[in-house]
Structure 1
Amino acid sequence: MLEHEIELEIPFHDVDVMRIAWHGHYVKYLEIARCALLESIDYNCDEMEQTGYVWPVIELNIRYAKPLRFKQKIRVLAKVIEWENRLKIAYTLFDSESGQRLTKAYTVQVAVDAANGEMQFASPQILLDKLGVSA
Protein backbone atom coordinates (compact mmCIF):
# COMPACT_ATOMS: atom_id res chain seq x y z
CA MET A 1 0.00 0.00 0.00
CA LEU A 2 1.04 3.58 -0.52
CA GLU A 3 3.18 5.04 2.24
CA HIS A 4 5.54 7.96 2.67
CA GLU A 5 7.89 8.99 5.45
CA ILE A 6 9.18 12.39 6.54
CA GLU A 7 11.61 13.51 9.22
CA LEU A 8 11.04 16.48 11.53
CA GLU A 9 12.79 18.08 14.46
CA ILE A 10 10.63 19.26 17.36
CA PRO A 11 11.07 23.06 17.49
CA PHE A 12 11.21 25.22 20.63
CA HIS A 13 7.95 27.01 19.82
CA ASP A 14 6.07 23.67 20.01
CA VAL A 15 7.14 22.74 23.55
CA ASP A 16 6.06 23.62 27.07
CA VAL A 17 8.20 24.49 30.10
CA MET A 18 9.13 20.79 30.46
CA ARG A 19 10.38 20.81 26.84
CA ILE A 20 7.65 18.40 25.77
CA ALA A 21 5.63 19.04 22.62
CA TRP A 22 2.10 20.23 23.35
CA HIS A 23 -0.37 17.52 22.31
CA GLY A 24 -2.17 19.81 19.83
CA HIS A 25 0.98 20.21 17.73
CA TYR A 26 0.91 16.52 16.83
CA VAL A 27 -1.90 17.31 14.40
CA LYS A 28 0.48 19.64 12.54
CA TYR A 29 3.07 16.85 12.23
CA LEU A 30 0.40 14.51 10.83
CA GLU A 31 -0.69 17.20 8.37
CA ILE A 32 2.87 17.68 7.11
CA ALA A 33 3.22 13.92 6.59
CA ARG A 34 -0.20 13.63 4.89
CA CYS A 35 0.61 16.48 2.51
CA ALA A 36 3.95 14.83 1.62
CA LEU A 37 2.18 11.50 1.04
CA LEU A 38 -0.42 13.05 -1.26
CA GLU A 39 2.25 15.08 -3.04
CA SER A 40 4.09 11.82 -3.77
CA ILE A 41 1.11 10.68 -5.92
CA ASP A 42 0.56 14.13 -7.43
CA TYR A 43 -2.73 14.62 -5.60
CA ASN A 44 -2.08 17.60 -3.34
CA CYS A 45 -4.69 20.21 -2.36
CA ASP A 46 -4.29 22.13 -5.63
CA GLU A 47 -4.71 18.97 -7.70
CA MET A 48 -7.76 17.95 -5.65
CA GLU A 49 -9.45 21.28 -6.29
CA GLN A 50 -8.58 21.14 -9.99
CA THR A 51 -10.33 17.77 -10.23
CA GLY A 52 -13.45 19.14 -8.53
CA TYR A 53 -13.14 17.66 -5.04
CA VAL A 54 -12.17 18.82 -1.60
CA TRP A 55 -11.27 16.31 1.10
CA PRO A 56 -12.09 17.56 4.62
CA VAL A 57 -10.89 15.59 7.62
CA ILE A 58 -13.94 14.18 9.40
CA GLU A 59 -12.17 12.05 12.02
CA LEU A 60 -8.87 12.19 13.89
CA ASN A 61 -7.48 9.78 16.47
CA ILE A 62 -4.13 10.03 18.25
CA ARG A 63 -2.65 7.58 20.75
CA TYR A 64 0.09 9.35 22.73
CA ALA A 65 2.45 6.62 23.92
CA LYS A 66 5.70 8.54 24.50
CA PRO A 67 6.26 12.31 24.60
CA LEU A 68 7.99 14.25 21.86
CA ARG A 69 10.78 16.46 23.20
CA PHE A 70 12.52 19.68 22.17
CA LYS A 71 15.11 19.09 19.40
CA GLN A 72 14.12 15.42 19.08
CA LYS A 73 14.28 14.18 15.53
CA ILE A 74 11.28 12.08 14.61
CA ARG A 75 10.12 10.13 11.57
CA VAL A 76 6.46 10.25 10.64
CA LEU A 77 5.27 7.36 8.48
CA ALA A 78 1.96 7.99 6.72
CA LYS A 79 0.21 5.05 5.05
CA VAL A 80 -3.06 4.85 3.09
CA ILE A 81 -5.08 2.03 4.64
CA GLU A 82 -8.59 2.66 3.18
CA TRP A 83 -9.62 4.30 -0.07
CA GLU A 84 -12.88 2.82 -1.37
CA ASN A 85 -15.46 5.02 0.38
CA ARG A 86 -13.18 7.35 2.29
CA LEU A 87 -9.50 8.11 2.60
CA LYS A 88 -8.07 6.73 5.84
CA ILE A 89 -4.41 7.37 6.56
CA ALA A 90 -2.55 5.74 9.45
CA TYR A 91 0.47 7.43 10.99
CA THR A 92 3.27 6.15 13.15
CA LEU A 93 5.77 8.49 14.78
CA PHE A 94 9.20 7.09 15.59
CA ASP A 95 12.30 8.44 17.28
CA SER A 96 14.78 8.84 14.42
CA GLU A 97 17.79 7.75 16.46
CA SER A 98 16.45 4.72 18.34
CA GLY A 99 13.59 3.73 16.05
CA GLN A 100 11.27 3.53 19.07
CA ARG A 101 7.58 3.98 18.28
CA LEU A 102 6.27 7.12 19.99
CA THR A 103 2.74 7.73 18.72
CA LYS A 104 0.09 6.15 16.52
CA ALA A 105 -2.72 8.05 14.82
CA TYR A 106 -5.13 8.06 11.93
CA THR A 107 -7.21 10.54 9.98
CA VAL A 108 -10.30 9.98 7.86
CA GLN A 109 -11.21 12.24 4.95
CA VAL A 110 -14.17 12.14 2.59
CA ALA A 111 -14.56 13.48 -0.92
CA VAL A 112 -16.89 16.43 -1.27
CA ASP A 113 -17.97 17.74 -4.66
CA ALA A 114 -16.55 21.28 -4.72
CA ALA A 115 -19.32 22.54 -7.03
CA ASN A 116 -22.32 21.54 -4.93
CA GLY A 117 -20.88 20.66 -1.50
CA GLU A 118 -22.25 17.13 -1.55
CA MET A 119 -20.33 14.38 0.19
CA GLN A 120 -19.47 11.45 -2.07
CA PHE A 121 -20.30 7.99 -0.75
CA ALA A 122 -17.63 6.36 -2.90
CA SER A 123 -14.16 7.70 -3.58
CA PRO A 124 -13.93 9.42 -6.96
CA GLN A 125 -12.13 7.63 -9.78
CA ILE A 126 -9.33 10.22 -9.73
CA LEU A 127 -8.22 9.02 -6.27
CA LEU A 128 -8.27 5.38 -7.38
CA ASP A 129 -6.24 6.32 -10.47
CA LYS A 130 -3.67 8.19 -8.36
CA LEU A 131 -3.37 5.23 -6.01
CA GLY A 132 -3.12 2.78 -8.90
CA VAL A 133 -6.06 0.66 -7.73
CA SER A 134 -9.26 -0.35 -9.45
CA ALA A 135 -12.82 0.25 -8.26
Structure 2
Amino acid sequence: MFVSETEIEVRYAETDQMGVVYHANYIIWFEIGRTKLVKDFGLNYLDMEDAGYLAPVLDVQATFKRPVKYGEMATVRTWVEFYNGIKTIYGYEILNEDNELCVSGTTTHVVVAKDSFRPVSMRKVFPNWDEIYERNKK
Protein backbone atom coordinates (compact mmCIF):
# COMPACT_ATOMS: atom_id res chain seq x y z
CA MET A 1 0.00 0.00 0.00
CA PHE A 2 1.40 3.36 -1.07
CA VAL A 3 1.00 6.34 1.30
CA SER A 4 1.41 9.86 -0.06
CA GLU A 5 2.62 12.61 2.26
CA THR A 6 1.93 16.31 1.87
CA GLU A 7 3.27 19.02 4.16
CA ILE A 8 1.09 22.01 4.97
CA GLU A 9 2.15 25.13 6.82
CA VAL A 10 -0.79 26.28 8.92
CA ARG A 11 -1.83 29.75 7.79
CA TYR A 12 -3.50 32.29 10.06
CA ALA A 13 -6.60 32.34 7.83
CA GLU A 14 -7.14 28.62 8.55
CA THR A 15 -7.49 29.13 12.30
CA ASP A 16 -10.15 30.34 14.69
CA GLN A 17 -9.75 32.86 17.52
CA MET A 18 -7.96 30.22 19.62
CA GLY A 19 -5.27 29.80 16.95
CA VAL A 20 -6.53 26.28 16.25
CA VAL A 21 -7.24 25.06 12.71
CA TYR A 22 -10.96 25.44 12.04
CA HIS A 23 -12.47 21.96 11.58
CA ALA A 24 -13.72 22.50 8.00
CA ASN A 25 -10.17 23.22 6.83
CA TYR A 26 -9.15 19.64 7.54
CA ILE A 27 -11.55 18.56 4.77
CA ILE A 28 -9.71 20.91 2.39
CA TRP A 29 -6.46 19.32 3.53
CA PHE A 30 -7.96 15.89 2.74
CA GLU A 31 -8.53 17.15 -0.82
CA ILE A 32 -4.98 18.46 -1.06
CA GLY A 33 -3.70 15.07 0.10
CA ARG A 34 -5.95 13.16 -2.32
CA THR A 35 -4.88 15.30 -5.27
CA LYS A 36 -1.23 14.73 -4.32
CA LEU A 37 -1.80 10.96 -4.08
CA VAL A 38 -3.32 10.91 -7.57
CA LYS A 39 -0.36 12.95 -8.85
CA ASP A 40 2.09 10.58 -7.11
CA PHE A 41 0.37 7.75 -9.00
CA GLY A 42 1.23 9.59 -12.24
CA LEU A 43 -2.44 10.43 -12.84
CA ASN A 44 -4.33 13.71 -13.11
CA TYR A 45 -7.91 14.65 -12.26
CA LEU A 46 -7.88 17.14 -15.16
CA ASP A 47 -7.45 14.26 -17.61
CA MET A 48 -10.52 12.62 -16.08
CA GLU A 49 -12.53 15.82 -16.38
CA ASP A 50 -11.34 16.46 -19.94
CA ALA A 51 -12.62 12.96 -20.83
CA GLY A 52 -16.08 13.92 -19.50
CA TYR A 53 -15.99 12.40 -16.00
CA LEU A 54 -15.92 13.61 -12.40
CA ALA A 55 -15.22 11.98 -9.03
CA PRO A 56 -17.55 13.67 -6.52
CA VAL A 57 -17.39 13.16 -2.78
CA LEU A 58 -20.25 11.00 -1.48
CA ASP A 59 -19.23 10.87 2.16
CA VAL A 60 -16.72 12.44 4.54
CA GLN A 61 -15.77 11.09 7.94
CA ALA A 62 -13.36 12.86 10.29
CA THR A 63 -12.26 12.18 13.84
CA PHE A 64 -10.53 15.00 15.71
CA LYS A 65 -8.00 13.87 18.29
CA ARG A 66 -5.92 16.99 18.99
CA PRO A 67 -5.63 20.46 17.49
CA VAL A 68 -3.18 21.69 14.91
CA LYS A 69 -2.24 25.31 15.58
CA TYR A 70 -1.18 28.40 13.67
CA GLY A 71 2.51 28.37 12.75
CA GLU A 72 2.87 24.60 12.89
CA MET A 73 3.69 22.28 10.00
CA ALA A 74 1.18 19.51 9.44
CA THR A 75 1.60 16.36 7.38
CA VAL A 76 -1.34 14.86 5.50
CA ARG A 77 -0.92 11.13 4.87
CA THR A 78 -3.25 9.75 2.17
CA TRP A 79 -3.84 6.26 0.76
CA VAL A 80 -6.46 4.14 -1.01
CA GLU A 81 -8.35 2.51 1.85
CA PHE A 82 -10.86 0.64 -0.35
CA TYR A 83 -11.39 0.25 -4.08
CA ASN A 84 -13.73 -2.03 -6.03
CA GLY A 85 -13.81 -0.53 -9.53
CA ILE A 86 -16.83 1.65 -8.75
CA LYS A 87 -16.28 3.12 -5.29
CA THR A 88 -13.04 4.46 -3.87
CA ILE A 89 -12.49 5.26 -0.22
CA TYR A 90 -9.41 7.31 0.58
CA GLY A 91 -7.90 7.22 4.06
CA TYR A 92 -6.24 10.19 5.75
CA GLU A 93 -4.17 11.02 8.77
CA ILE A 94 -3.10 14.51 9.69
CA LEU A 95 -0.07 14.66 11.94
CA ASN A 96 1.41 17.65 13.74
CA GLU A 97 5.10 18.49 13.62
CA ASP A 98 5.68 16.22 16.63
CA ASN A 99 4.30 13.34 14.52
CA GLU A 100 1.22 13.08 16.75
CA LEU A 101 -2.05 12.01 15.14
CA CYS A 102 -4.43 14.99 15.14
CA VAL A 103 -7.15 14.05 12.64
CA SER A 104 -8.05 10.82 10.88
CA GLY A 105 -10.73 10.28 8.29
CA THR A 106 -12.00 9.02 4.99
CA THR A 107 -13.72 10.32 1.88
CA THR A 108 -15.82 8.16 -0.41
CA HIS A 109 -16.00 8.81 -4.17
CA VAL A 110 -17.46 7.34 -7.35
CA VAL A 111 -16.64 8.30 -10.92
CA VAL A 112 -19.63 9.74 -12.76
CA ALA A 113 -20.32 10.94 -16.28
CA LYS A 114 -20.16 14.74 -16.25
CA ASP A 115 -23.32 15.17 -18.33
CA SER A 116 -25.59 12.81 -16.38
CA PHE A 117 -23.89 12.27 -13.00
CA ARG A 118 -24.52 8.55 -13.50
CA PRO A 119 -21.85 6.32 -11.92
CA VAL A 120 -19.49 4.50 -14.27
CA SER A 121 -17.02 1.68 -13.78
CA MET A 122 -13.53 3.07 -13.44
CA ARG A 123 -12.32 -0.34 -14.66
CA LYS A 124 -14.05 0.27 -18.00
CA VAL A 125 -13.48 3.98 -18.59
CA PHE A 126 -10.05 4.36 -16.92
CA PRO A 127 -8.27 0.99 -16.98
CA ASN A 128 -4.94 2.64 -16.17
CA TRP A 129 -6.41 4.19 -12.98
CA ASP A 130 -7.97 0.82 -12.13
CA GLU A 131 -4.66 -1.01 -12.45
CA ILE A 132 -2.85 1.52 -10.24
CA TYR A 133 -5.61 1.59 -7.61
CA GLU A 134 -5.81 -2.21 -7.49
CA ARG A 135 -2.04 -2.38 -7.00
CA ASN A 136 -1.98 0.28 -4.28
CA LYS A 137 -5.14 -0.29 -2.23
CA LYS A 138 -4.96 -1.33 1.39
Which TM-score band applies after superposition, normalised by the shorter structure?
Answer: 0.7 to 0.9
Deviation at residue 132 of structure 1 after TM alignment? 5.6
Report Cα offsets for 1:73-92 as digits up to 9, x if no partner: 11110011112131110000
Asked if the contact 1:5–1:33 (Cα under 8 Å) also holds between the matched residues in 2, the reply is yes
Report Cα offsets for 1:38-73 as digits up to 9, x if no partner: 111232221112344210000000101101100111
Any unmatched runs of 5+ in structure 1? none
More divergent stretch after superposition (40-49 vs 21-30): 40-49
CA RMSD of superposed structures (Å): 1.6
More divergent stretch after superposition (110-119 vs 53-62): 110-119
Q: Give the aligned partner of residue 123 of structure 1.
A: 122
Q: Which amino acid aligns with 1:14?
A: E
Q: 2 CA distance for matches of 1:88 and 1:57?
A: 10
Asked if the contact 1:111–1:124 (Cα under 8 Å) also holds between the matched residues in 2, the reply is no
After TM superposition, the score normalised by the length of structure 2 is 0.86
What are the equivalent positions in structure 2 for 1:108-119 lying under 5 Å apart? 108-119=108-119
Q: Give the aligned partner of residue 95 of structure 1.
A: 96
Report Cα offsets for 1:8-67 as digits up to 9, x if no partner: 111111111111111111111111111111111232221112344210000000101101
After TM superposition, the score normalised by the length of structure 1 is 0.88
Asked if the contact 2:83–2:134 (Cα under 8 Å) also holds between the matched residues in 1, the reply is no
Q: How many residues align?
A: 131
User: CA 1:48–1:130 in 2, change beyond 3 Å: closer, same or farther?
Assistant: farther
